[in-house]
A and B are shown apart, each in its own frame.
Chain A
Amino acid sequence: MNMDDALATFFAESRELLEQMETSLLGIGQENDTTETVGAIFRAAHTIKGSAGLFGLDDVVSFTHVVESVLDVVRDGRLAIDEPMVTLLLACGDHIGALLDALETNPGQRDESLIERGAPLTAQLRAYLGTGLVAADEPQAPFERMGGINPCEKDLWHISVRFGADVLRNGMDPLSFIRYLGTLGTVTGIVTLTDALPAAEAMDPESNYLGFQIAFRSQAEKAAIEGVFDFVLDDCTLNILPPNSRTGDYIELIRSMPEESARLGEMLVRCGSLTAKELAAALLVQEQRHPEIIPIGSILVEQGSVAAPVVAAALEKQKRVKENKAQESQSIRIDAEKLDQLINMIGELIIASAGANVIARKSRNIELQECHSTLSGLVERVRDSALQLRMVKIGATFNRFQRVVHDVSREIGKDIVLVVNGEDTELDKTVVEKIGDPLTHLVRNAMDHGIDSAELRAKRGKPAQGTVSLNAYHDSGSIVIEVSDDGGGLDREKILAKALERGLIEPGRVLTEAETCALIFEPGFSTAEQVTNLSGRGVGMDVVKRNIVALRGTVDIASQPGVGTTVTVRLPLTLAIINGFQVGVGKSVFVVPLDMVDECVEFTSDSGHDYTDLRGQVLPFIRLRELFEVPGAAGTRQNIVVVKHAGQKFGLVVDTLMGEAQTVIKPLSRMFSQVKGISGSSILGSGDVALILDVPALMEEAQFPVTHTPQLA
């Protein structure tokens, strides 16, 4: 990999880490035990710093270093992480991101003003590192950096040593070892084990029979303690069990190890809960008990060399590393353009296959037809797979809003929480990219104008904390995104007054509730008393609507005074290929998106009305021949395609029903964009062009009365 590739990867991965940091920071307020999360945040900063160092990005390194230092102190439990710190760390994450951006666009250049902007942040960070350490929850005496254990009475090493029989003969004395141990810490308790001492006559005065159990307080590492007994290790059984607090430390260390696969023993030695010699001894035992296969972890716990929770943590880490590796190799980055090209080619493939189908049918060659049937089945599966490649979960987009809500709620001084649902709902990549801005505006709007002030909420008996919620789900071929708030709802009177003022409606005109709410989307409309920084500039909702319509979507707003407001956005699931239902009107062929087709019925008696009886319910319809001014008169036998959209049903009167077919959507030239009712075109197997019907637009433009449809689904 050359330097450029490596650097590009560094930028991409660092951004991902920054995102993770942000998500973790935002969630930390809700956690009871923040150890895990703090560790994750620390590791993210640590990794960025390290990698930046590899590339010599000194400014990034020095800034991130201070961040890492503060996080280290928090990680040790010497500092509590609270709201102001979270906000500071979020700002630091942003600054690191800005530094990276600057380096990416102008490699090798120092942006002095940008670096300047980091100075106040660094100052605040250093304040945390200063002499006045903020005490954590448990009372602690200040102590040295080394080891970082809490010197608490119960927190002792337990050393159990049985010196070998020849120790004395070899010129050594257990006493000297115990004395030496005393130089590394304090022996707080000792028990001399005399059980091995035989009866007087049998006892050899020059052999050693004694063992000791020692409770030991020390900051030293296990290996150092073990080192005390170096000279007699071969001759004795030694067990060193670290203090309980160390267990936490070891587990933390194991979890923070780089994500590379390692053997259990290695991991334990690396984190310090096991010494190399203990491992060697355990491996020996393992070998000796062969062919019985005993996991090394069990042996170590059995031998008392490592505490069971530490082994468990190491095993878990191993498993996670393995899973991540497996997953890593399962996902790769690809160029979006290449993906689009692939989709286009598959579109061509579908058309070609349809063409071949027509010929195969005409040929009356059974073999050919069967062969083609196999082919078109495969083409369909390829199509589905390819489309799936473009589908991404909306969860990532939704979760970005956590940050928005966090920042904005502080800015406007309201306590607001964001609730997210339907994160797994998938939609086309291009739609996701384009829906971000409109959604942001809707969320900000909900926060700024939707959520009522704390006093009002109290008066209305609502919880002090306001809720904005995002929800997404699929519904008959569309994806629905809802932005709701539990605020004061839309003030109908105010809206009407404003609309009157702006000349958007004539005085005296009576509007339905829906029409009133829809006024919000008119350009130049805003009822905000103060135009805030975020919204209310009067350029908001109409732009939102325009962006959504450009994606062939619809947006509606509904509200209950005092209770809340919901904005519902509907978007087509995919912009490339749909399943279509072909219908004929005169010589023309039209395509109805299959997802919206409910059923088809014959239409023979034409009473001249624009509605018919569908099993006891009123079904209004549109005659396509009339609407599209198709030349020629309608035949006697016509059909109605019953379509359903946004919970409403209506019918399309057509001549012939031609069946289902995969339809590659070919965009129409911009000159047709104002044609309501047509959303695109498609090339049939015959080579002819068919027009794709825009069902929601037909429904809207034909202005079906909304009031008298209580029986409709």
Chain B
Amino acid sequence: MSMPLRIEGELTIYRAAELKNTLLAAVAEHDTLDIDLSAVTEFDTAGVQLLLVAKRAAAARQHTLRLVGHSAPVIDVFELLDLSSHFGDPIVLPA
């Protein structure tokens, strides 16, 4: 069962510590987890790291983690750092 975890607001260093716990808990709990990024307003390196760590954690447990609904700031960073290869999720560009 895929459960979307929706992140709202800043996915940045300011909330990194708190979001880390949330993410990792969610990863542990669900076999398949979708993270909905459509409401992310800001995204920085710390945020990138969190997503990366989450992905690894999922892999370690053989759970599936998917990123969906990349918002504009997220797309921006993903392109800047060419992160698609790290995550493998299709990025749907807004029309």
- Known A-B contacts A189-B82, A200-B24, A212-B81; A205 and B49 likewise in contact (beta carbons under 8 Å): yes
- Known A-B contacts A189-B82, A190-B82, A200-B53; A175 and B45 likewise in contact (beta carbons under 8 Å): yes
B63: CB under 8 A from chain A? no
- Known A-B contacts A175-B77, A200-B57, A205-B16; A194 and B52 likewise in contact (beta carbons under 8 Å): yes
How far is the CB of A660 from the nearest CB of chain B, in Å? Answer: 90
A197: CB under 8 A from chain B? yes
Could you say which residues of chain A place their CB within 8 Å of the CB of B80? Answer: 175, 178-179, 190
How far is the CB of B74 from the nearest CB of chain A, in Å? Answer: 12
How far, in whole Å, are A179 and B49 apart by their CA atoms in the complex? 18
1/0 contact string of B38-72 vs chain A (CB within 8 Å): 00000011101110111011001000000000000
How far is the CB of A132 from the nearest CB of chain B, in Å? Answer: 42
Who on chain A is nearest to B24 by CB? A200
Q: Pick from A179, A192, A199: contact of B83, CB below 8 A.
A: A192
Who on chain B is nearest to A200 by CB? B57
How far is the CB of A388 from the nearest CB of chain B, in Å? Answer: 72
- Known A-B contacts A197-B53, A205-B19, A206-B17; A191 and B82 likewise in contact (beta carbons under 8 Å): yes
A210: CB under 8 A from chain B? yes
Per the CB 8 Å criterion, the residue count for chain B at the interface is 24
- Known A-B contacts A178-B81, A192-B83; A173 and B53 likewise in contact (beta carbons under 8 Å): no
How far is the CB of B41 from the nearest CB of chain A, in Å? Answer: 15
Q: Are A192 and B49 in contact (CB under 8 A)?
A: no
How far, in whole Å, are A206 and B13 apart by their CA atoms in the complex? 6
Per the CB 8 Å criterion, the residue count for chain A at the interface is 22
Q: Tell me the A191-227 residues at the B interface (CB within 8 Å).
A: 191-192, 194, 197, 199-200, 203, 205-206, 208-210, 212
- Known A-B contacts A205-B19, A205-B20, A206-B13; A174 and B45 likewise in contact (beta carbons under 8 Å): yes
Could you say which residues of chain A place their CB within 8 Å of the CB of B19? Answer: 205
Q: Are B50 and A205 in contact (CB under 8 A)?
A: yes
Could you say which residues of chain B place their CB within 8 Å of the CB of A178? Answer: 80-81
Q: Pick from B24, B56, B57, B81: contact of A190, CB below 8 A.
A: B81
**Secondary structure at chain B's binding surface: helix, strand, loop or mixed?**
helix
Q: Are B45 and A168 in contact (CB under 8 A)?
A: yes
How far is the CB of B26 from the nearest CB of chain A, in Å? Answer: 12
Of the candidates A167, A205, A206, A210, the one having the most CB atoms from chain B within 10 angstroms of its own CB is A205
How far is the CB of A505 from the nearest CB of chain B, in Å? Answer: 96
- Known A-B contacts A191-B82, A197-B52; A206 and B16 likewise in contact (beta carbons under 8 Å): yes
Could you say which residues of chain B place their CB within 8 Å of the CB of A203? Answer: 20, 49, 53
Who on chain B is nearest to A174 by CB? B45
Could you say which residues of chain A place their CB within 8 Å of the CB of B83? Answer: 192
How far, in whole Å, are A199 and B46 apart by their CA atoms in the complex? 15
How far, in whole Å, are A168 and B24 apart by their CA atoms in the complex? 21
Q: Are A205 and B17 in contact (CB under 8 A)?
A: yes
Could you say which residues of chain B place their CB within 8 Å of the CB of A174? Answer: 45
Who on chain A is nearest to B27 by CB? A200
Q: Are B49 and A209 in contact (CB under 8 A)?
A: yes
Who on chain A is nearest to B44 by CB? A173
1/0 contact string of A158-193 vs chain B (CB within 8 Å): 000000000110000111001100000000011110
How far is the CB of B94 from the nearest CB of chain A, in Å? Answer: 21
Q: Pick from A189, A199, A208: contact of B49, CB below 8 A.
A: A208
Could you say which residues of chain B place their CB within 8 Å of the CB of A200? Answer: 24, 53-54, 56-57, 60
- Known A-B contacts A168-B13, A200-B56; A208 and B81 likewise in contact (beta carbons under 8 Å): no
Q: Are B81 and A192 in contact (CB under 8 A)?
A: yes
How far, in whole Å, are A19 and B78 apart by their CA atoms in the complex? 62
How far is the CB of A613 from the nearest CB of chain B, in Å? Answer: 101
Who on chain B is nearest to A209 by CB? B49
Who on chain A is nearest to B28 by CB? A200
Who on chain A is nearest to B77 by CB? A175
Could you say which residues of chain A place their CB within 8 Å of the CB of B54? Answer: 200
- Known A-B contacts A175-B77, A179-B80; A192 and B86 likewise in contact (beta carbons under 8 Å): yes
How far is the CB of B18 from the nearest CB of chain A, in Å? Answer: 9
How far, in whole Å, are A192 and B85 apart by their CA atoms in the complex? 10
How far, in whole Å, are A551 and B49 apart by their CA atoms in the complex? 91
How far, in whole Å, are A168 and B15 apart by their CA atoms in the complex? 13
Q: Are A208 and B45 in contact (CB under 8 A)?
A: yes
How far, in whole Å, are A617 and B2 apart by their CA atoms in the complex? 120
Q: Are B13 and A192 in contact (CB under 8 A)?
A: no
Could you say which residues of chain A place their CB within 8 Å of the CB of B60? Answer: 199-200
How far is the CB of B11 from the nearest CB of chain A, in Å? Answer: 11
Q: Are B46 and A206 in contact (CB under 8 A)?
A: yes
Q: Are A210 and B48 in contact (CB under 8 A)?
A: yes
How far is the CB of B20 from the nearest CB of chain A, in Å? Answer: 4
How far is the CB of B40 from the nearest CB of chain A, in Å? Answer: 14
1/0 contact string of B1-42 vs chain A (CB within 8 Å): 000000000000100110110001000000000000000000
How far, in whole Å, are A167 and B53 apart by their CA atoms in the complex? 18
How far is the CB of B44 from the nearest CB of chain A, in Å? Answer: 5
Of the candidates B20, B50, B81, B83, the one having the most CB atoms from chain A within 10 angstroms of its own CB is B81
How far, in whole Å, are A173 and B73 apart by their CA atoms in the complex? 15
Q: Are A197 and B82 in contact (CB under 8 A)?
A: no
How far, in whole Å, are A47 and B62 apart by their CA atoms in the complex? 71
How far, in whole Å, are A209 and B44 apart by their CA atoms in the complex? 13
Could you say which residues of chain B place their CB within 8 Å of the CB of A192? Answer: 48, 81-83, 86
Could you say which residues of chain A place their CB within 8 Å of the CB of B77? Answer: 175
Who on chain B is nearest to A198 by CB? B53
Of the candidates A167, A168, A191, the one having the most CB atoms from chain B within 10 angstroms of its own CB is A168
1/0 contact string of A78-105 vs chain B (CB within 8 Å): 0000000000000000000000000000
Could you say which residues of chain A place their CB within 8 Å of the CB of B46? Answer: 168, 205-206, 208
Could you say which residues of chain A place their CB within 8 Å of the CB of B48? Answer: 192, 210
Q: Are A173 and B45 in contact (CB under 8 A)?
A: yes
How far, in whole Å, are A173 and B13 apart by their CA atoms in the complex? 10
Could you say which residues of chain A place their CB within 8 Å of the CB of B44? Answer: 168, 173, 175
Q: Are A197 and B49 in contact (CB under 8 A)?
A: yes
Could you say which residues of chain A place their CB within 8 Å of the CB of B86? Answer: 192, 194
Of the candidates A167, A191, A192, the one having the most CB atoms from chain B within 10 angstroms of its own CB is A192
How far, in whole Å, are A192 and B81 apart by their CA atoms in the complex? 6
How far, in whole Å, are A192 and B77 apart by their CA atoms in the complex? 12
How far, in whole Å, are A561 and B2 apart by their CA atoms in the complex? 103
Could you say which residues of chain A place their CB within 8 Å of the CB of B50? Answer: 205
How far is the CB of B22 from the nearest CB of chain A, in Å? Answer: 11
1/0 contact string of A385-416 vs chain B (CB within 8 Å): 00000000000000000000000000000000
Could you say which residues of chain B place their CB within 8 Å of the CB of A179? Answer: 80
How far, in whole Å, are A168 and B50 apart by their CA atoms in the complex? 13
Of the candidates B45, B50, B53, B56, the one having the most CB atoms from chain A within 10 angstroms of its own CB is B45
Chosen A-B contacts, 29 in total, with CB atoms closer than 8 Å, are A168-B46, A174-B45, A175-B44, A178-B80, A178-B81, A179-B80, A189-B82, A190-B81, A190-B82, A191-B82, A194-B52, A197-B49, A197-B52, A199-B56, A200-B24, A200-B53, A200-B56, A200-B57, A203-B49, A205-B17, A205-B20, A205-B46, A205-B50, A208-B45, A208-B49, A209-B49, A210-B45, A210-B48, A210-B49
Beyond A168-B46, A200-B57, A210-B45, 4 additional pairs, beta carbon < 8 A: A179-B80, A199-B57, A200-B60, A205-B19
Considering the complex of A and B, which 9 residue pairs feature the smallest CB-CB distances, nearest first?
A205-B16, A200-B57, A205-B20, A192-B81, A190-B82, A205-B17, A200-B53, A173-B44, A174-B45
